[in-house]
Amino acid sequence: MSRKQKTPRWLKAARRRKTPVVPGERADWLARALGRAGVMPRAEAERAILEGRVEVDGRVEREPFAPVSPRAEVRVDGQVRSLDAPLIVLMFHKPAGPVVAGWDREGVGTVFERLRAVLPAELQGFEWYAVGRLDRDTTGLLLFTNDERLVQHGTSPEAHLPKCYVATVAGHPTLAALRMLRDGLVLEDGPTRPAEAQLLAPDCVELVLTEGRRHQVKRMLAAVGYPVRTLHREAVGRLVLDVPEGACRRLTDAEVAETLEFSSE
């Protein structure tokens, strides 16, 4: 029996209110719009809305999923707050340990907690989305953004944004193994796209992929006989990791456009 698809809560709220979709205008719901604009993170915004602290165009709004226009006048605790949302992208150097998920059943912690611990005060109000995933034990470049369209761009198979990984492996990969990695091989979820592969040391492989399937680097190296011992992501697009472990920095608009080939226009 096929499982019935659940209608998202924001869509139900929009239908209930018969909100017209304005062509060219970005559809959004109140709690998410507050998070994207940096007024307060989404969970906090939901609480504030339920507590009756948020007004939209002069009326208290108690529905976190209420559709909202970017031009609405929004007040939080009586203060006018803009819903204008600049595109913000952060480079974060993920240490081994935290999980790329909203919560961690193993109690080591999440990358979102690690990020918030090092964010300057002016960036604390945003809701952050990780652009793709890294395994718990993988270190290196993880991007965060307040804009889901960048998440889509960074993770979509169509964008083909290259991701550069450095893996230390068990054994010394042969030229034949490198050739298989480059040509593409068949994993249980299908063939891999051609990749760049080169040895940086007898037991260290640099692999550049233009796709990002689950555990892909580990599975590719295991498939050619060299299981991964450590894995580090060095670059995404033309953006190379340049902050110390655990630290983050905000990218300039030019970096986002040039290295990640993304524009919010």
* Active-site residue, 183 included: no
Q: Which is nearer to ligand URA, 55 or 135 (CB)?
A: 135
Which residues sit at the interface with ligand URA, rule CB under 6 A?
134-135, 138, 215-218, 231
**Least distance to ligand URA from the beta carbon of 217, Å?**
3
Of 88 and 209, CB closest to ligand URA? 209
Instruction: Work out how close the CB of 20 gets to ligand URA at its nearest, in angstroms, rounded to a whole number.
Output: 42
Would the CA dihedral through 260, 264, 145, 247 be positive or negative?
A: positive
Beta carbon of residue 222, minimum distance to ligand URA (angstroms, whole number): 9
Of these residues, 57, 77, 104, 135, which one is catalytic?
135
Q: Which is nearer to ligand URA, 54 or 111 (CB)?
A: 111
Q: How far is the CB of 52 from ligand URA (least distance, A)?
A: 43
Nearer to ligand URA, 39 or 217 (CB): 217
Known catalytic residues?
Answer: 135
